[in-house]
Amino acid sequence: MPIPLRQNLRVGQYLMKQKLAGRDKFPLIVEIEPLFACNLACPGCGKIQHPTEVLRKRLSVEDVLAAMEECGAPMCSIAGGEPLLHPEIDRMIAALVERKIFVYLCTNAVLMERRLDRFKPSPYFSFVIHIDGLRERHDEAVDREGVFDTAVTAIKAARAQGFRVTTNSTFFNTDSPKTVRDVLDFLNDDLGVDAMMISPGYAYEKAPDQEHFLGVTQTQELFKQAFADGRRKKWRLNHSPLFLDFLEGRVDFSCTAWAIPSYSVLGWQKPCYLMSDGYVGSYQELVETTDWDTYGRGKDPRCNNCMAHCGYEPSAVVATTQSLRQSLRAMVSAR
Q: Which is nearer to ligand SF4, 66 or 216 (CB)?
A: 216
Distance between start and end Cα atoms, the chain:
5
Q: Which is nearer to ligand SF4, 42 or 67 (CB)?
A: 42
Q: Is 64 in the site for ligand SF4 (CB under 6 A)?
A: no
Question: Cis peptide leading into 81, omega within 30 of 0?
Answer: yes
Minimum CB separation from ligand SF4 for residue 106, in Å? 8
Minimum CB separation from ligand SF4 for residue 257, in Å? 4
The binding track of 117-156 with respect to ligand SF4, each residue x by CB under 6 A or -, is -------------x-----------x--------------
Residue type, 16: M
Contact 130, 109 (CB under 8 A): yes
Q: Is 32 in the site for ligand SF4 (CB under 6 A)?
A: no
Interface residue with ligand SF4 among 93, 257, 316, 330 (CB under 6 A) is 257
Angle between helices 216-227 and 241-248 (to 10 degrees): 120
**For residue 67, which phi and psi values (nearest 5 degrees)?**
-65, -40
The closest residue (CB) to ligand SF4 is 311
Minimum CB separation from ligand SF4 for residue 265, in Å? 13
Contact 30, 104 (CB under 8 A): no
Interface residue with ligand SF4 among 2, 80, 241, 314 (CB under 6 A) is 80
Q: Is 296 in the site for ligand SF4 (CB under 6 A)?
A: yes
> Three-state SS for 75?
strand
Q: Is 38 in the site for ligand SF4 (CB under 6 A)?
A: yes
Contact 32, 22 (CB under 8 A): no
Residue 202, judged by CB atoms within 10 A of its CB (0-12, 13-18, 19+), counts as buried
Cα(256)–Cα(271) distance, integer angstroms: 10
Cα(189)–Cα(235) distance, integer angstroms: 8
Q: Which is nearer to ligand SF4, 124 or 244 (CB)?
A: 244
Residues whose CB is less than 8 angstroms from the CB of residue 324 and which lie 6 or more positions away in sequence, other chains included:
none
Q: By rule CB under 6 A, what count of residues binds ligand SF4?
A: 26
Q: Is 108 in the site for ligand SF4 (CB under 6 A)?
A: yes
Span interacting with ligand SF4, options 70-78, 232-240, 276-284, 307-315, rule CB under 6 A: 307-315
Closest Cα partner for 284 from 26, 76, 74?
26
Sheet of 102-107: strands edge to edge? 195-200, 164-171, 125-130, 102-107, 75-78, 29-33, 262-264, 267-271, 276-280
Binders in 276-295 for ligand SF4, by CB under 6 A: 295
Interface residue with ligand SF4 among 29, 195, 275, 286 (CB under 6 A) is 275
Span interacting with ligand SF4, options 33-41, 188-196, 216-224, 239-247, rule CB under 6 A: 33-41
* Helix and strand element counts for the chain (H, E): 14, 9
Q: Which is nearer to ligand SF4, 109 or 333 (CB)?
A: 109
Q: Is 48 in the site for ligand SF4 (CB under 6 A)?
A: yes
Q: Which is nearer to ligand SF4, 21 or 53 (CB)?
A: 53
Binding residues for ligand SF4, rule: CB under 6 A, are 38, 40-42, 45, 47-48, 80-82, 108, 130, 142, 255, 257, 271-272, 274-275, 295-296, 303, 306, 308, 310-311
